[in-house]
């Protein structure tokens, strides 16, 4: 069954997280606290795109976050989950470092527990308590940006975990604790 995140649900969840206040993490110094922030995403599995301002005038924009959440849903099951707005902030900071307007190509955004368990059964590199399940992780690449440069920018931002997967051609970015690893 589809677990859809509606605007009112996002507002309710966001209010619990204090999304109406300016909440720029320490690593977010590359972001203009009051200026608009835009996310540009391209889901490679569904063909859906998101290109909108999700933060303006000191507040996250619930409608934009709801749309970005939809684009980042588990493409295998259709399940949606609230996506941590700090993840979009991390992507904005990374985009600023690599100086591109290309869309982040989504390899994997939110993963339902069922999808994560299936992937874990196929690979030792999938964490049982993955940040993807919590809506705090994304696996991406950026057209025109060498993967190693994308990884370096993500590490430089220091938003959370960064996994470098050169063989699989993506970088994992999450808003969990700061750490790094290299995968296949």
Q: Report pLDDT digits (tens) over 119-133.
A: 888 887 788 889 999
Q: What angle do CA 108, 111, 116 make, to 5 degrees?
A: 105
Q: Determine the pLDDT at residue 129.
A: 83
Do 171 and 164 form a contact (C-beta atoms < 8 A)?
yes
At residue 68, φ and ψ (nearest 5 deg) are -65, -40
Please determine, looking at this structure, whether the domain spanning 7-29+37-182 carries the CATH number 3.40.50.920. Answer: no
Q: How far apart are CA 87 and CA 109, in angstroms?
A: 10
Percentage of residues in the chain having pLDDT higher than 70: 82
Q: Determine the pLDDT at residue 169.
A: 96
103: its two tokens: 């869309």
Q: Determine the pLDDT at residue 79.
A: 97
Task: List, for the chain, all residue ranges whose pLDDT scores fall below the cut of 70.
Answer: 1-34
89: its two tokens: 């902030």
Tell me, yes or no, if the pTM score tops 0.85. no
Q: Determine the pLDDT at residue 144.
A: 96
At residue 107, φ and ψ (nearest 5 deg) are -90, -45
Closest CA to 134 of 84, 89, 178: 84
Q: Determine the pLDDT at residue 127.
A: 82
């Amino acid at each position: 069954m589809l677990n859809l995140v509606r605007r009112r649900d996002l507002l309710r969840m966001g209010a619990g997280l204090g999304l109406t206040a300016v909440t720029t993490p320490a690593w977010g110094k590359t972001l203009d606290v009051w200026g608009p922030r835009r996310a540009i995403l391209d889901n490679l599995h569904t063909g859906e795109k998101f290109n909108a301002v999700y933060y303006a005038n000191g507040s996250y924009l619930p409608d934009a976050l709801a749309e970005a959440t939809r684009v980042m849903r588990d493409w295998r099951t259709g399940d949606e989950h609230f996506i941590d707005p700090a993840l979009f902030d991390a992507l904005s900071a990374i985009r600023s470092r690599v100086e591109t307007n290309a869309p982040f190509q989504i390899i994997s955004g939110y993963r339902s527990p069922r999808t994560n368990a299936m992937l874990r059964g196929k690979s030792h590199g999938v964490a049982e308590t993955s940040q993807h399940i919590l809506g705090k992780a994304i696996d991406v690449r950026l057209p025109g940006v060498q993967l190693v440069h994308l990884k370096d920018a993500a590490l430089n931002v220091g938003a959370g975990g960064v996994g470098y997967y050169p063989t699989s051609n993506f970088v994992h970015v999450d808003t969990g604790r700061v750490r790094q690893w290299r995968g296949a």
